[in-house]
Amino acid sequence: MINERYAPIISIIEGTRTIDDVQEKLKIDRAKAIYLLHRLRKLGYIRTKYLPNKKRVYSITFLNKQKGTSYLEAFNENMPNSAFKINDKEDHFVHGNKIKAEDLLIYALKKGTVRFVISSLILFRKIKDWSYLYRLAKKEGLTRQISALYEVARLFIKKVRKMPKRFISFTTPKKDDKYLYIIKGFNSDDFKNIEKKWKVYIPLNRADLEEYKLI
C-alpha cells in the first residue's frame, strides 16, 4: 500500500538521487532532506547505494516497497563508516522477516570476496543468537570459518562478545579434518596460528585490517 502522505513527494524525487538533488527538487534545507530520506528509507521506498568513491546515492521509487528488505542495504547500515560500506551490483531481498546480524554475516561470507570478509568482521560485535548463527553456518558449511574469523575479529575490534563454549565445541576441527577455504586460493601470512587451530585458511593479513584502528 502506498503511503498517501509521501506519495506526492516520491513522485517529485523518484529516481536515483543524491541528497543535493533532493534539496534542489523540493526546495528544502539539508536537515529536512536528511530527515525525509530517513523516513522514506524506513517506509521502504529508498535503497541506498554507494559509488566507488564512497559517495552515497539513493534509489527512490514506489517499486522498492515491493522488493522487501535489501540484504546489501542492511549490511551497509551495520557498518561503522563509509570505508566499510560496499557497492555491489547483486542484491537479495527478504520479505516479512527482519534481517539480523547473524544473517548478514553468512550473507557476507557467501559473497566470497575479500572486501566483504573484511567488512563482515564488525558484525561479530552484534552477534547475540549464537544458536541461530550455528544453524545458519552449518547449513552453508561455514561453521569453522565463522570461528576462525571470530578470533581474527577479537584481535582488532573492541566490544566483541565472547563466543559461547558450546559454539566452540561444535566447531572445533577433528584430527582428520581437512583445511577449508573462506575464499578459494587465499591464505594468510599473519594468522597462521588461527589457521592451524581451526584448519581454515584466512584470506586476510594484518595490513587488510588497518581501517579497524580508526574506529
Q: How far apart are CA 183 and CA 204, in angstroms?
A: 10
Q: How far apart are CA 105 and CA 107, in angstroms?
A: 5
Alpha helices in the chain (DSSP H): 7-13, 19-26, 30-43, 71-77, 101-111, 114-120, 130-140, 143-156, 165-171, 192-198
Listed by start position, the domains of the chain span: 1-67, 68-214
pLDDT of residue 96: 56
Task: Judge whether 117 and 183 are in contact, CB under 8 Å.
Answer: yes
Let me know how many helices (H) and strands (E) the chain has, helices first: 10, 7
pLDDT of residue 73: 82
Which CATH number is correct for 1-67, 1.10.10.10, 1.10.3260.10, 1.20.120.1200, 3.40.1160.10?
1.10.10.10
Q: How far apart are CA 52 and CA 73, in angstroms?
A: 16
Q: How far apart are CA 178 and CA 200, in angstroms?
A: 9
The pTM for the full model equals: 0.71
Confidence of residue 53 (pLDDT cuts 50, 70, 90): confident
Question: For the chain, first and last CA: distance in Å?
Answer: 40
pLDDT average, residue stretch 119-131: 96
Given a cut of 90, whether residue 3 has pLDDT beyond it is no
pLDDT in tens, 6-36: 889 999 999 889 999 999 999 999 999 999 9
pLDDT average, residue stretch 136-158: 97
Higher-pLDDT residue of 49 and 131 is 131
Q: How far apart are CA 74 and CA 96, in angstroms?
A: 14
What residues form DSSP beta bridges with 49?
57
pLDDT of residue 111: 93
pLDDT average, residue stretch 161-169: 95
pLDDT in tens, 78-90: 898 888 888 776 6
pLDDT average, residue stretch 182-204: 96
Q: How far apart are CA 215 and CA 185, in angstroms?
A: 30
pLDDT in tens, 55-111: 888 888 887 776 667 788 889 888 988 888 887 766 666 655 678 999 999 999 999
pLDDT of residue 191: 97
